[in-house]
């Protein structure tokens, strides 16, 4: 530790004692969990994310699991929802097929998700967040942004210390752990919360932002998924540092509005504020095509992918929806929205997809579309979703989807739906 460490503001995350020396351990309690940062007294935008959320809740409720690898998943979908950090050491990851996870970690204890219980914990954690600030923006079942600016007087403490106290309280009173990211903007607060998981607390200050980002991959930037990263890579761009050397006009010419985002976020410029905009009314996903599409099999492939995305977001936000909404925009910018209400709420990609397919069937008449979207509204708690007697076993589900595709095939000829049918093959691979 350099001598100057003594002059950098810092405190102990265990006993909260201010640290006035550059020592490696807390002078009061001996803990090594010290937090020091030049901007520690001024930063106030936080992102908090629970560690291995479902698994931590299960471990809390069964102390025998404490030292064992635990995987949450299975049930209707044969994939891993999450795994505890012990199972992750063995290579288990979220969204991995369960059989692969068990190959990697055969000794793991597998537990089916109990969404009702996790939602309860979410509500508890959220209520405690609201004691810190009214500016809480939940992003999913286990994470939220918090704006703590102006809360010093209320808490008689700087935001950083209030957050450390909060993390300690969650451990003591809820029995799970969280990781905190503290910065001056949403982008870097979210990045920071992921740096030191589990039980992390990372700070990214204004002064270091550009340097911090320089060596990182472009995928760190919000909205840069695998597809867009491939586009960037084709253009020779891999690191955020490369974006930092490019002109805004150039990036916008190449990538449209996304170019502007790349320009700004690569430089740590992010003015988005923490919005408390109430509860979501619908969950949806849409895509605009590069070239207009009329072929059913292409539309179906997009519908399939988007349905998976909607289902993932529903799972992550602990929601289910009862009305499926299909959205189309024609080449001449006319919108078509079609709804169907289900017998029970759903959070399954297959049910969303099949319902969307039935709605889509009536719209494929040679019209060229520039956009397709699928979503669900009438949101509710997932506890009542997809009652087993109403949800077909996998084989019947596949058959139903194939039925619908066959209908289209009858209507438009065999080859027109050949690719749509690959959907059936993909499912079998899982």
Binding residues for Mg(2+): 49, 142
Subset of residues 112 to 141 that bind ligand DCP, contact rule: CB under 6 A = 141
- How many chain residues are in contact with ligand DCP, going by CB under 6 A? 18
Q: Which of 34, 39, 43, 53 binds ligand DCP (CB under 6 A)?
A: 53
Answer yes or no whether residue 52 interacts with ligand DCP by CB under 6 A: yes
| Sequence-distant (≥ 6) Cβ neighbours of residue 186 within 8 angstroms | 45, 47, 145, 270, 272, 274
Q: Which H or E run includes 179?
A: strand 178-183
Q: Which does 350 bind (CB under 5 to 8 A by kind): Mg ion, ligand DCP, none?
A: none
Tell me whether residue 53 or residue 353 sits nearer to ligand DCP (CB atom): 53
Q: How many CB atoms lie within 10 A of CB 130?
A: 14
Answer yes or no whether residue 77 interacts with ligand DCP by CB under 6 A: no
Q: Is 275 a catalytic residue?
A: no
| Interatomic CA distance for residues 190 and 422, integer angstroms | 37
**Which of 46-54, 131-139, 372-380, 383-391 is the region at the interface with ligand DCP (rule: CB under 6 A)?**
46-54
DSSP 345-378: EE--HHHHHHHHHHHHHTT-SS--EEEEEEEEEE
Which residues define the annotated binding site?
Answer: 49, 142
**Which of 98-106, 134-142, 159-167, 413-421 is the region at the interface with Mg ion (rule: CB under 5 A)?**
134-142
DSSP 129-176: HHHH-S-EEEEETTEEEEE-TT-HHHHTS-HHHHHHHHHHHIIIII--
Answer yes or no whether residue 147 interacts with ligand DCP by CB under 6 A: no
| Interatomic CA distance for residues 124 and 127, integer angstroms | 5
Answer yes or no whether residue 49 interacts with Mg ion by CB under 5 A: yes
Answer yes or no whether residue 94 interacts with ligand DCP by CB under 6 A: yes
| Interatomic CA distance for residues 225 and 203, integer angstroms | 25
**Which of 16-24, 49-57, 124-132, 184-192 is the region at the interface with ligand DCP (rule: CB under 6 A)?**
49-57
Tell me whether residue 304 or residue 370 sits nearer to ligand DCP (CB atom): 304
Is residue 286 within 8 A of residue 327, CB to CB? The reply is: yes
Helix (H, G, I), strand (E, B) or coil at 107: coil
Tell me whether residue 18 or residue 171 sits nearer to Mg ion (CB atom): 171
Answer yes or no whether residue 147 interacts with Mg ion by CB under 5 A: no
| Interatomic CA distance for residues 234 and 131, integer angstroms | 47
Tell me whether residue 155 or residue 305 sits nearer to ligand DCP (CB atom): 305
Longest Cα pair distance anywhere in the chain, in angstroms? 78
Minimum Å distance from CB 159 to ligand DCP?
22
Report CA-CA distances (Å) from 81 to 109, 169, 353, 395: 13, 26, 20, 22
Subset of residues 196 to 235 that bind Mg ion, contact rule: CB under 5 A = none
**Which of 50-58, 160-168, 224-232, 254-262 is the region at the interface with ligand DCP (rule: CB under 6 A)?**
50-58
Q: Which of 39, 40, 45, 51 binds ligand DCP (CB under 6 A)?
A: 51
Answer yes or no whether residue 19 interacts with ligand DCP by CB under 6 A: no
Q: What would the two tokens of residue 33 be?
A: 């969990």
Q: Report phi then psi at 339, rounded to 5.
A: -120, 155
Which residue in the list 39, 58, 143, 297 is annotated as catalytic? 143
Q: Which does 95 bind (CB under 5 to 8 A by kind): Mg ion, ligand DCP, none?
A: ligand DCP
Subset of residues 302 to 321 that bind ligand DCP, contact rule: CB under 6 A = 312, 315-316
Q: Give me the residues that bind ligand DCP (CB under 6 A), please.
A: 49-54, 81-82, 94-95, 141-143, 197-198, 312, 315-316
Residues designated as active site: 143
């Amino acid at each position: 530790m350099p001598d100057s460490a003594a002059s950098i503001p810092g405190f102990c995350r265990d006993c909260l004692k201010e640290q006035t020396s550059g020592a490696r351990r807390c002078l009061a309690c001996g803990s090594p969990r010290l937090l020091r940062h030049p901007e520690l007294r001024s930063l106030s935008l936080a992102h908090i994310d629970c560690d291995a959320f479902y698994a931590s809740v299960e471990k809390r409720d069964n102390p025998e699991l404490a030292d064992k690898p635990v995987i949450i998943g299975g049930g209707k979908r044969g994939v891993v929802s999450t795994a505890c950090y012990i199972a992750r050491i063995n290579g288990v990851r979220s969204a991995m097929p369960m059989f692969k996870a068990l190959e990697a970690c055969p000794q793991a204890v597998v537990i089916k998700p109990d969404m009702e219980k996790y939602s309860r914990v979410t509500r508890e954690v959220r209520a405690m967040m609201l004691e810190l600030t009214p500016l809480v923006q939940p992003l999913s079942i286990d994470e939220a942004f918090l704006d703590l600016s102006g809360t010093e007087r209320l808490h008689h403490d700087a935001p950083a210390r209030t957050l450390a106290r909060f993390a300690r309280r969650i451990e003591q009173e809820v029995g799970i752990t969280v990781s905190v990211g503290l910065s001056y903007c949403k982008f870097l607060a979210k990045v920071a919360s992921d740096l030191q998981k589990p039980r992390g607390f990372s700070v990214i200050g204004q002064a270091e932002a550009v340097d911090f980002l320089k060596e990182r991959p472009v995928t760190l930037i919000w909205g840069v998924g695998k597809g867009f990263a491939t586009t960037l890579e084709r253009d020779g761009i891999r690191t955020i540092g490369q974006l930092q050397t490019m002109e805004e006009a150039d990036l916008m010419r190449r990538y449209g509005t996304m170019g502007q985002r790349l320009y700004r976020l690569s430089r740590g410029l992010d003015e988005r504020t923490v919005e408390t905009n109430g509860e979501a009314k619908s969950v949806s996903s849409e895509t605009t095509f590069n070239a207009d599409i009329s072929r059913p099999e292409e539309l179906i492939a997009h519908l399939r992918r988007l349905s998976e995305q909607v289902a993932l977001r529903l799972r992550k936000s602990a929601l289910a929806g009862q009305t499926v909404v299909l959205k189309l925009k024609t080449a001449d910018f006319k919108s078509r929205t079609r709804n169907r209400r289900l017998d029970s709420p759903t959070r399954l990609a297959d049910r969303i997809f099949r319902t969307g397919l039935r709605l889509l069937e009536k719209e494929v008449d040679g019209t060229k579309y520039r956009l397709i979207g699928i979503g669900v509204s009438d949101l509710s708690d997932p506890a009542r979703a997809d009652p087993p007697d109403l949800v077909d076993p996998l084989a019947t589900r596949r058959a139903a989807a194939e039925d619908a595709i066959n209908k289209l095939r009858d209507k438009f000829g065999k080859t027109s739906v050949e690719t749509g049918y690959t959907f059936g093959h993909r499912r079998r691979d899982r």
